[in-house]
């Protein structure tokens, strides 16, 4: 992705927004940030802790962004300081990108019913779903009417995906939250949508058991017979966050090569990909 060229233009000219969830150059949030910046947006970033600042700072600087806020979504003080810094620096914002999820590694393997603990469940739902409600409420307080918010979700919310387990439950809550937030903020013409991306090689994806098999299977079983390109996700984000997305809200938009729409994969492609004769 590093060498890919993001389409330039002025679709986001004059718009300012917060991107939450860049960990490194492979993060989906970074692809989205690059696309938004290429269309004229001014961006601020959060980073989860000192260790990630070393990675996020040079990325932010490479697109002319100097507003960096340390933010752990489980810590109200850092949420408060992030949004008050934005208000001090900019007054108003126009959009929010939420690309944050977490579940303990022990929760993301094997049997869902056996391995999901009360603490694991609470933490996955808190970090991966509630954080969008919390950030969305705080963002709305300083957002211009007509603004837009997006979050990132995955098909494991709708169907059983091996090892995705409690994260699938969290993503279902996240998608439902998106619809309720869209209804609450609709009277202000603020739109709230989710992008359901197919598997992409990132730090978060590495935490899920059977990752390699997942990429091979998705490639074979999707309509496009390819893995999901982060540029496609970034393009969808641009559509939803810019005025191109007018009238679209409460939606979960799939960017997964059509994988979600296939009932039964093409036999030949599947056999070739899985090495079965």
Active site residues: 154, 164
- Segment interacting with ligand NAD (CB under 6 A) among 35-43, 82-90, 95-103, 217-225: 95-103
Should residue 102 be labelled a site residue for ligand NAD when binding is judged by CB under 6 A?
A: yes
Q: Binding residues for ligand NAD, how many (CB under 6 A)?
A: 27
Applying CB under 6 A, among 37, 38, 48, 177 the residue interacting with ligand NAD is 48
178: contact with ligand NAD by CB under 6 A = no
- Residue numbers 1-40 binding ligand NAD by CB under 6 A: 21-23, 27-29
CB closer to ligand NAD, 72 vs 158: 72
8 Å CB contact between 149 and 192:
yes
199 contributes a contact to ligand NAD by CB under 6 A: yes
State the DSSP string of the chain.
-TTPPPPP-STTTT-EEEEE---STT-HHHHHHHHHHHTT-EEEEEESSHHHHHHHHHHHHHTT--EEEE--TT-HHHHHHHHHHHHHHHS-EEEEEE------GGGSSS-HHHH--HHHHHHHHIIIIIHHHHHHHHHHHTEEEEEEEEEEE-GGGTS--TTTHHHHHHHHHHHHHHHHHHHHHGGGT-EEEEEEEPP--SHHHHTSTTHHHHHHHHHHHSTTSSPPPHHHHHHHHHHHHSGGGTT--S-EEEESTTGGG-SS--HHHHHHHHT--
Query: Least distance in Å: CB of 98 to ligand NAD?
Result: 8
Q: Which one, 55 or 189, has the nearer CB to ligand NAD?
A: 55
Site for ligand NAD in 201-220 (CB under 6 A): 202-205
Find the part of the chain contacting ligand NAD (CB under 6 A) among 7-15, 100-108, 141-149, 184-192: 100-108
Among 127, 224, 248, 270, binds ligand NAD (CB under 6 A): 127
Task: Find the binding residues for ligand NAD in span 154-173 (CB under 6 A).
Answer: 154
73 counts as binding ligand NAD under rule CB under 6 A? yes
Nearer CB in complex with ligand NAD: 58/91: 58
The site for ligand NAD (CB under 6 A) is made up of 21-23, 27-29, 48, 52, 71-74, 99-102, 127, 152-154, 197, 199-200, 202-205
């Amino acid at each position: 992705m590093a060498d890919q060229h993001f389409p330039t233009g002025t679709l986001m000219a004059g718009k300012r927004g917060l991107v939450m969830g860049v960990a490194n150059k492979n993060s989906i949030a970074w692809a989205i940030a690059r696309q938004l910046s290429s269309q004229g947006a001014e961006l601020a970033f959060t980073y989860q802790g000192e260790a990630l600042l070393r990675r996020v700072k040079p990325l932010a600087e490479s697109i002319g962004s100097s507003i960096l806020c340390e933010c752990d979504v489980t810590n109200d003080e850092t949420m408060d300081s992030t949004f008050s810094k934005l208000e001090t620096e900019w007054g108003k914002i126009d959009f929010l990108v939420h690309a944050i999820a977490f579940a303990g590694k022990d929760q993301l393997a094997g049997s869902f019913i056996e391995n999901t603990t009360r603490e694991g469940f609470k933490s996955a739902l808190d970090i991966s779903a509630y954080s969008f409600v919390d950030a969305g409420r705080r963002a709305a307080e300083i957002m211009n009417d007509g603004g837009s918010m997006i979050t990132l979700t995955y098909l494991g919310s709708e169907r059983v995906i091996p090892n995705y387990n409690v994260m699938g439950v969290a993503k279902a809550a996240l998608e439902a939250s998106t619809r309720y937030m869209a209804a609450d903020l609709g009277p202000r013409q603020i739109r709230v949508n989710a992008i359901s991306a197919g598997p992409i090689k990132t730090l978060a994806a590495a935490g899920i058991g059977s990752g390699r098999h997942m990429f091979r299977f998705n490639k074979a079983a999707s309509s496009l017979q390819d893995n999901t390109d982060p540029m496609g996700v970034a393009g969808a984000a641009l559509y939803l966050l810019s005025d191109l997305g007018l009238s679209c809200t409460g939606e979960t938009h799939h960017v997964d090569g059509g994988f979600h729409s296939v009932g039964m994969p093409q036999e030949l492609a599947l056999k070739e990909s899985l090495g079965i004769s």
